[in-house]
Structures are given as structure tokens and as C-alpha cells.
Chains A and B, each alone.
Chain A
Amino acid sequence: MDFQVVVLAGGTSKNLLPLVSKEVPKALLPVANRPVLSYVLEQLELSNLKDLIVVVEGEDAAIHVGGWISNAYVDRLHVEVATVHEEVGTAGALRAIAHHLTANDILVVSGDLVFDVPPGALAAAHRKHNAVVTTMLCPAPISGPTESGSSGGKDKIKKPRRYNIIGLDPSKQFLLHIATGAEVEKDIRIQKSILRAVGQMEIRADLMDAHMYAFKRSVLQEVLDEKDEFQSLKDDVLPYLVRSQLKSEVLFNGVPQTEENGNEKVSSQNNQAVVSRIMANASTPSFHELSSGYNGSTHVRRIHKCCAYIASESRYCQRLNSIQAFSDINRDVIGDASHLSGYSFSAHNNIIHPSAQLGTRTTVGPHCMLWEGSQMGDKCSVKRSVIGRHCRIGSNVKVVNSVVMNHVTIGDGCSIHGSVICSNAQLQERAVLKDCQVGAGFVVTAGSEHKGESLARK
């Protein structure tokens, strides 16, 4: 398959402080004890997309990510790690690596995506319609987790947050309108010309742009070159392409659009019906003839197609772009979406590494993960939590709805609810944490109580 994949792995996102650091960039944050990037790479591998460029923001982060990839995927994937400056935005990142892009079509995936939608399906949809851009849409998460009583209590009462407003044609294959970012909260402004061309448009607020796009390379590069103010794929490039689809300004490297139409006619029968309808609607052949006949010039209206691939509701698709999302995804991967983790769960729906040691009367509930070399004292209780490698946990410790990374020391009688404890942190005796984040190497003093705080070394 002539597809080049660009994985935008980001750097050290501010949203995720204090979880991320120079040593642990966003891409390497553990989700069920595996870096989040591994979920993307695995899905790509499953779809036989093995030619990858991983773009990392910042030198240090790139070294760490590159080191990890070369260890884990050395003979499985052909990966190139590219470094870009921080804060260049997604479009800027692509601009910076433009000279690496050679294939006809480019698949751009956000590196923080945890999903099980086959990227190959998106690529196929893109090819099928010979689209300029195809974006993956997934059902927007309805609300916060239903059972995590402790985390983010108020958010759940609010009605679902709106991510995108998306206009689709009746066959749900073409993307006709997209509102992103701040536009989502404003009134919806639909272009009449596009609506006229299709006749009917469905507007949905329950879909989310999943940050996985297939672009035609020539078009992508042209847009990036010409619109140097574009910073984000999601907020600038995609809406621009969608908006101008009936009056295309992208040149397709001089390939006339009519030729492209000709190619389409040989595509599959079923598809052709749809395409020809769209083509007929979007720019009637007679329309062209009439207008060119009148002007005397061979002016052909250029159009391009923007497609959408809608992931089915049963698929899992989440972005790890906030602390809340980090906790949710960790819980989902060891819970409802456990097939993603790639581990086989025990009869109790949990995973306890053989080398882990448990004290007497210590219980590890379902949807838990206790990784190698970790030790727990007596009378502990772990529910719906992930505990990493080589942690030392004293007695009478409660861990609920939390993520404990590697080499964490937890003293006796601690209670941890809905929190994230980063590697090498230390919790002294009887510390009580609720909805907190503890940065790497931080020491929580004995007997202290924290609620909803972010604790990190200054």
C-alpha cells in the first residue's frame, strides 16, 4: 500500500503536567503499563502500515521516544523519528518534515490515540473516493465514567461536551461541513452552495474528529506551502479543505480534475453510483458545458472531495490529551476495553504478575493490574487500578481508581482515590490522596491529606 504514515507524537504537553516530563514525554505515558504510543503503532502494524515517521516535539523527548521505539520495534516496523520545535502546531510539524514525504497518500495519526479502529479502513475509504482528505470520526464520548465516583464528580452532570459539529451527506461518506474549536459554540453557519449541491445534509453534534486523517500528499503540501498561517490540521487545514471543496484552489500538481473523474468511473459499481451522484450534483456536466460555452474559455470548475470514515460505536477511540483522559483510558483499557491491552486477564478479570508479592488478607479486585516485582503488605485493597513495576506498598493501603506507575513507594495506611502517582514518587505513612496527581520523584509527607491537587517537585 502506497501510504506513508506520520505519527504526531507531540512533546511534553502542558495539559498533562505533572505527569509528563522531559524523561517521560506524552507519547511514553504508560497506559496499562505500556507507552500510549505503542497502541497506535500496534494498530498500524495490524493494518500492515509499516512505513512510519514519528514526529516528536523537542530534542530530549525525541531521544527518549526514539530510544524506546528502536528497542521495542526494531525489526517489526520501519520507523524514522523526526524532531521538530515545540509549539509549531500539527500543521507546522508536517511542514517541517515535508521533505520526508514521498508517497501519494499520507496518513496522519495523533500519537496519543488509544483506539481499535483499523487505520486500514480509513485508508481504504480514502482511496475509494480518491479524496483529498479523509478524516476519521468517532462517536463523541457521552460523559465521564459512570462508575468512578471519586473523579471529576461535577463534570458528569453537565451535558456532554460538544467536540465538533459535522455535516455529512446522506450516504455518510462525504464530509460537507466541520466546525472545530471555538466555532463549535457559535451558531452553525452552513454554506449554501454545498447544501445546494447535495440537497440534503445531516448535521451531527455527536461525532468527534479522532485526529486520524488521510491526505493526498500533493494537496497537503500545497496547502501547507501556500497557507503558511495555518497552524493546526484540525482547526485550519481540514476546515479549509472542507469549505473550499466546491471551488477548489488546490491544483493537484497540474492534473486536471476531469481526468480524475474519468478514473473514478472504473471504480466499483456501487461506489460509482454515489460518486456520480455527487459529481452530478456538485457540478453538473451540463453546467460545465454551459459555462465554458458562454465564456469561450475552457474554464472548468475545480472540485475536490472530503470524505469521512465513521467508526462504529462498538469501537474504542479516545485521545489521551488531559489528565482526566489519562485516568479514563487507563481504567477502560483494564476494564471495558481490555482487548486493547493485549494481555490475557485472569478469571478474576485482573492481572497479577507472577513475580508480584501480596501480603496476607490483601485483595486485588477485578479490573486491576499489578505488575512485575511489586510488593504489597497485609490487608491492602486494590480496586480498578493499575500498579506498575517494582512498587513497594505497605500494609493497610487502599488504592481505588488510580494509576500507580513504576518504582513507587507507598507507606502503611495510605489511601489513594482517583489519583495518578508517577514513577519514583514516595508516599509516607497515612497519606490520604483524593483526585491528586503526584509528579515523578515527589515525596508526600506522612499523614498529609490532599484533595484535587497537583503535587510535583518545583
Chain B
Amino acid sequence: MPPQRKGAAARVSEDTEDLTRHPLQAILLADSFATKFRPITLERPKVLLPLVNVPMIDYTLAWLESAGVEEVFVFCCAHSKQVIEYLEKSEWFSQPNFSVVTIESHNSVSAGDALRLIYERNVINGDFVLISGDTVSNMSLTQVIQEHKERRKKDSNAVMTMVIKQSKPSPITHQSRLGTDELFLAIDPQTKQLLFYEEKTDSYRGIIPLDNALLGDNPSICLHNDKQDCYIDICSQEVLSLFTDNFDYQHLRRHFVKGLLVDDIMGYKIFTHEIHSSYAARIDNYRSYDTISKDIIQRWTYPFVPDVMFSGNSATHLEREGMYRASEIEQSRSAHIGPFTVIGKGTKIGNNSNISNSVIGKGCSIGSNVSITGSYIWDSVTIEDGCDIRHAIICDGVVIKSGAVLEPGVVLSFKVVIGQQCIVPSYSKVSLYQQPTVEDSDEELEYADNSSGTVDSSITCTVDTLNREMMSETPASQLGPGGVGHVWSICEGAHEEEWRHSVAPIPADKLAEVIQSLEDDLELLNLDGNAHSVSGELKSGRNGTDSEDDDVEDSRDDSIIYEKEVEATFLRAVNENIKVPDVILEMNSLRLSYNMTSADCAGAIFYAMMKQALEIPHATAGELRKSAASIIDAWNKLLKFYSKEIDDQIEVIMKFEEMCLESVKGVLTTFFPDFASFI
């Protein structure tokens, strides 16, 4: 073998050695920096919420361990004490070949802050897996990491590989089954490079704008609406320093990914890796909580299922029809437990109770004649006789007194008490804590709106103080006799969205509503499309306007503004006695700047005149008529200037008609003869 060949071979082996020397690291964000799980997350961090009776973080850690990750940095922020305490009690700190290190922060408000902090700690020394602590997956990381490393060798700008999965959003609600917004991706079919990423798509209604330059480099690109972002990223070290360099990056997707895609100076690239047979999903909202729970029960996430022991879940047996039962269950003979149900250890179920498609935690006591469907009941919950619970999430220690009814979509936070015979309306959220008042959280919520980065931690500091005062008062009239808790009011904008993210299935009337609006949308879109095509290139010549999609709307807006301007100008002319030629000059400049025809102008001026006439105090129709006539006489020249053509005059008459219609009173019609004579 020639010497240089040997050298090359040696270098390669050194290379691989170099890569294997670093243990595979992962950053687990144990804080979602979002408020979707409020009010529950006021009291407990999201990662510790039980998902089919096991805290979410355990799914994530167990998967990381099985996927060969050796070192995990758990970044805790909101309720960091609770997370650390939990991890200390669990066995995660004592695993061989798997080290879990916690990083605590109290003032991070976003994923960006978290990564900047980790960068300062200087603990990451190679490629790492970036996930949040609410991810459930069973995918193998070997292939994607291999791909990532190979790409890195060829191109050091390939800093991130994003895991995606096939998932078609509903054609009606435009959200995935996980309740997340539909996602539009553009991917290079050859290299799998990500070229475009858009999840919030309100900005361009109906149209996806793609930069023309994208096609310059790639002969073909693939646009996807049928993929789901798994929020599992394989990152290179540079990602951390990028976050430090761009201190305004907060959100991983909205800022970081978009930032990289838009910025072509640095040329950093993001690639995608699609998984086909394995499972990966992130719990983003109540709906995904519901969906993923069902997936776990139906064993899509194997081996992370209730009857396989991983990290301290209790022994559970799988029975027929997807029913899991833990030990020490006291179940009445007449109780009926339906399919796809999980029942935790030490739970008691009374006579004639009916449970289906639900998860029930440890040590609950359920009375007789209770009906539970599609609900998630956590530990130590007491449900008295005759309750009806549909599609609800009920946290630890809740007491539901006899005869209460929970309508679909209800969330009861810790230790809430629902009084007898109380009917809790759909989508209610009940907590012992009061809803953070507007002044309190205004800033944060605003922040959450545009970057979804609100922390729960800042609330928690104040929570303890608030705690005492709030606990003392019991305003719970809404919750029936003996009820304890505050019903959170749903703010205006959120209500619309509530059904989208709730645990409850979307009601049929909502669907119908959405379909209706969808149809309208499509109609609108087509209308625009028509306008677009009618004009095509023809129109741009005729109107001088760019035939954009929102053209129609624009021009409508324009004409309204224009009318106002004309009116104001006219008013000024009347009040300040400006001469007619000057007014004409002014009107002309207005006309040109709004790109209106002289007919529009005549119409607007006439409108302004009539308005003026109406504003002059008048007692009878005759007076009004007189004043109108005098105004018209006074400004005759002005009006004439613009109504030379027949078209313009027609426009004036139309305007007149319009006014008659809207200002009613019929009085205006009285001076029709005058009007006719004028023309």
C-alpha cells in the first residue's frame, strides 16, 4: 500500500475515533416556555404531568437512554425545584452509562435563553440531540446521527437535522391530529435540505410565497403540507453559539429556523430526516395530550407502553380490548370497563359505573353510577356517585361531588372541588389559583402571543404569596355548593381557538362552521384568482396597480380612505373659504395619490357636499333642500370640473342614490329636481 494511502486511511480512522470519543449528548428542555397547559402548569411543571400514569419526562429520558444517548442535560426553569426533586427521587441519577445533569435557571423566558445559558456553561462538546421534555418517541437515533455527521464532514454549514414524520393535517380544521397548526415545508428532494418553514400561516391568506431564488439553486423543490415536525433536532455545536450571536432568537422554530433559512450570508443549512415506521410526537397542547395518550395505549410507542416496565411505572397487565389494569383494584362486579382504558393501582370503582377510553390514576375512588368517557383522571381523585364525565382532564386530589356533570373539554386543576349537581360547562378551566390578572401578565401574554415564550417560573415566584390569599377566599358559587376553585375566564380571542386544542373531540357544529368559512375562503380566493387572471398582465397596464392577491381588498380600503380625505379637504375648503381652482388642485393631487378616476372624484366630492348640507342644522326637509342647493351652487364649478364625462355624472347619480339609501329620511329625495337641473 502506498504510504499516502495509509496516511489517509489512518486519518479516516482517527476521524471516526474522534467522533466516538465524545459521548452522545442531549439537551432536554424541561420547560416548554408556553402557557398552553395552564392552569395545571401553575402548580406543576409540564414535564412532570402524568401521561398514561407516567410523568412525561420519563418517556423522554427512557427513549434517550434506549437510543444510546449517554449524557443528558436537563434544563429546568419553571418549577425547577420540583423537577430536580423528582429526578433525584427517581432512578435516573443512578443509571450506568447514562448520566443526567440538571441545569437550573430562574430567569430564562425562552428556549433561546436556555441554549445561551447552556453555551455559557460550556458542557456540550460535539453534536447533540435537542428535545423538550414532553417528547414521546421510540425512533432510533443511529441513522439520523450518522446522516448528520456525514453531511457535516462534507459541509460544515449543515448545522442541524430536523426529524419530520408523515402526518396529513385535517382538510377541514387545518390542524394535525396533535392539534398543532398545519405546517408548510419546502424540501429539496435530493439533499433533503429544508428550504422553507411556515407554521403560522395567517399572514398570506391562501398563498404561500416562495422566494424565487430558491429555484435558482435547485431545479426542483418539494412543497409539503403532509409532514409533522417532531421537534427532535440533531444539532451541531454551532447551534449554541448561533443562539449566543443572535441574542434575539427566542423560539426554536419561529426565530432560529426561520432566521437560518432567511439568512443567506452565513449559509447555514438545515436538513430534514423523515421517519416512517417509528413514533415521535411532542405534547404541545391538550389535544396532543389526548392523541398521544391514545397512541401509547394502542402501543404505537412500544416499548414505552404501560405494561412494559420502564422507570418506575407500576406493574400493569394488558387485558383484552386494550385494557390495562394495575394491581389492587377494587372493582364492583356491576361496573363496566370498556376498551382502551388504563386503571391505576389501588383504585376503587363502584356499582354500575361505566368507564371507557379513559386513563385513571392511582388511588382514585369512583362511586357508583358514574360514567367516564375519554377522560384523563390523575391520582387520588374522588368521584362521587352519579357523576358524568366526558373528555376531561382531572388532576390530583380533585373531588367531584355526587351528581356533577363535566361537559367535554373541562380541565380541573389540582385539588379543585366540584359541588353537588354542578354542571361545569364545556372547555372550562378550573383551578385553585386565580387567573393571572391582565395587568399582571399583560407583558408576558403579549410575549407569548408572538413568540410563545412565557415562562411559568416568573409566575411561580409570586404564586406562593398569592397562594395564601387566594386559597382563603372561596368564591366558588359557579362550582355548586361546597365547590372550591376559580373558573378561569376565557379571553376573547382564545375562545375561538379553545375547541382546537381541547381534549374533547371537535363538535360537529364547529366542523360545519369551519367548512362554511372554508368554502367562503375558497370563494374569496377564487375571486381574487379571477381578478388576478383577468388582469394578468393586461390589468397592470390599465390600472397601474400590481395585480396582487389582495388587490380587491386594497382598492376597497383605498376608496374608503380616499372618500374620507376628500371630505376633509372639502370641509376645509368650506371653512377656510379656499378658492375653487386651489381646491381642484388639491383634489387632483389626492386623486393621483390614491390612483382614482375622475368619476370617483366627482362621486366623493358630491358625497362630501351632501354631508355638509346634512350637517347644517335644519328643521324641515325644505330647509335641508335649500342648504344643499346653496352648497351645490357655491361649489358648482368644482363639481363640474370633475363631472365632464357622462360616466362621471353617472357616478354622481349613483352616489346620490347610495346616500339616499343610507341616510334614509327620504328628505334627500326632495331635492331631486334641483339635482336633475344641475346635471
Contacts and interface: CB of A to CB of B under 8 A. Distances in A.
Our verdict on whether A and B bind, yes or no, reads yes
Interface of A: 159, 162, 165, 167, 181-182, 185-193, 195-206, 227, 229-231, 235-236, 239-240, 243-244, 246-247, 249, 281, 284, 287, 290-291, 293-295, 301
B208 A291 contact: no
A199 B533 contact: no
A290 B511 contact: yes
Interface size grouping (class) on chain B: 35 or more
A202 B220 contact: yes
A229 B220 contact: no
B516 interface: yes
B674 interface: no
B181 to A, nearest CB: 12
B169 A187 contact: no
A229 B171 contact: no
A424 B582 CA distance: 68
A313 B37 CA distance: 55
B225 interface: yes
B168 A290 contact: no
Q: What is the predominant secondary structure among interface residues of chain A facing chain B?
A: mixed
B515 A202 contact: no
Contact of A249 (B208, B515, B526): B526
Contacts of B512: 290-291, 293-294
Interface in B423-449: none
Given A243-B529, A244-B526, A204 B220 contact: yes
Contacts of A205: 215, 219-220
A293 B515 CA distance: 11
A192 B225 CA distance: 9
Given A191-B525, A294-B515, A202 B221 contact: yes
A206 B220 contact: yes
Interface string B526-562: 1001001110111000000000010000000000000
A203 B206 contact: no
Given A191-B208, A196-B174, 7 more contacts: A185-B212, A188-B211, A196-B169, A199-B224, A202-B222, A243-B532, A247-B526
Contacts of B525: 191, 193, 247
Contacts of B172: 287, 290
A239 B529 CA distance: 10
A277 B112 CA distance: 42
Contact of A200 (B215, B219, B220, B225): B225
A181 B533 contact: no
Contacts of A229: 534, 538
Contacts of B210: 187-190, 203
B505 interface: no
18 contacts: A181-B537, A189-B207, A190-B208, A190-B210, A191-B525, A192-B184, A192-B207, A199-B168, A200-B222, A202-B220, A203-B221, A230-B533, A239-B533, A281-B171, A290-B512, A291-B512, A291-B515, A294-B515
6 closest Cβ pairs, A-B complex: A199-B226, A294-B512, A188-B210, A206-B219, A204-B220, A190-B208
A203 B223 contact: yes
Nearest to B166: A199
B223 to A, nearest CB: 4
Contacts of A240: 529, 533
A418 B516 CA distance: 63
Nearest to A246: B522
Interface string B198-219: 0001000011111110111001
Contact of A203 (B169, B184, B220, B526): B220
Interface string B160-173: 00000000110110
B171 A195 contact: no
Interface in B167-189: 168-169, 171-172, 174, 182, 184, 186, 189
A204 B529 CA distance: 22
B184 A195 contact: yes
B523 A247 contact: yes
A187 B174 contact: no
Contacts of A291: 512, 515-516, 519
B171 A192 contact: no
Nearest to A189: B207
Nearest to B514: A290
A228 to B, nearest CB: 10
B215 A197 contact: no
Contacts of B174: 196
Contact of A294 (B186, B516, B538): B516
A201 B171 contact: no
Nearest to B210: A188
Residue of A197, A199, A235, A249 with most chain B CB atoms under a 10 A cut-off: A199
A162 B216 CA distance: 9
Contact of A193 (B206, B220, B224): B206
A190 B207 contact: yes
A236 B226 contact: no
A200 B226 contact: yes
B515 A243 contact: no
A209 to B, nearest CB: 16
A290 B529 CA distance: 26
Residue of A167, A205, A284, A301 with most chain B CB atoms under a 10 A cut-off: A205
A202 B206 contact: no
A327 B206 CA distance: 44
A322 to B, nearest CB: 20
Contact of A202 (B189, B216, B519, B522): B189
Contact of B206 (A165, A186, A192, A244): A192
A246 B174 CA distance: 16
A336 to B, nearest CB: 22
B209 A188 contact: yes
Nearest to B512: A294
A160 to B, nearest CB: 9
A292 B132 CA distance: 43
Interface in B312-329: none
Given A236-B536, A246-B522, A247-B523, A189 B209 contact: yes
A192 B204 CA distance: 10
A189 B208 contact: yes
Contact of B208 (A195, A200, A202, A287): A195
B522 A247 contact: yes
B207 A199 contact: no
Given A186-B212, A190-B207, A290-B515, A195 B223 contact: yes
Contact of B225 (A195, A246, A294): A195
A182 B536 CA distance: 10
Contacts of A206: 219-220
Nearest to B536: A236
A204 B220 CA distance: 4
Contacts of B534: 227, 229
Nearest to B533: A240
B526 A182 contact: no
B220 to A, nearest CB: 4
A284 B549 CA distance: 27
A179 to B, nearest CB: 10
A203 B512 CA distance: 33
A243 B549 CA distance: 13
A196 B171 CA distance: 7
B319 to A, nearest CB: 34
Nearest to A162: B215
Contact of B209 (A159, A187, A227, A239): A187
Contacts of A191: 206-208, 525, 529
Contacts of B208: 189-192, 195
Nearest to B522: A247
A202 B168 CA distance: 16
Contacts of A246: 522
Nearest to A181: B537
Interface in B119-173: 168-169, 171-172
A230 B533 CA distance: 8
Contact of A236 (B212, B223, B533): B533
Contacts of B168: 199
A192 B189 CA distance: 20
A291 B519 CA distance: 9
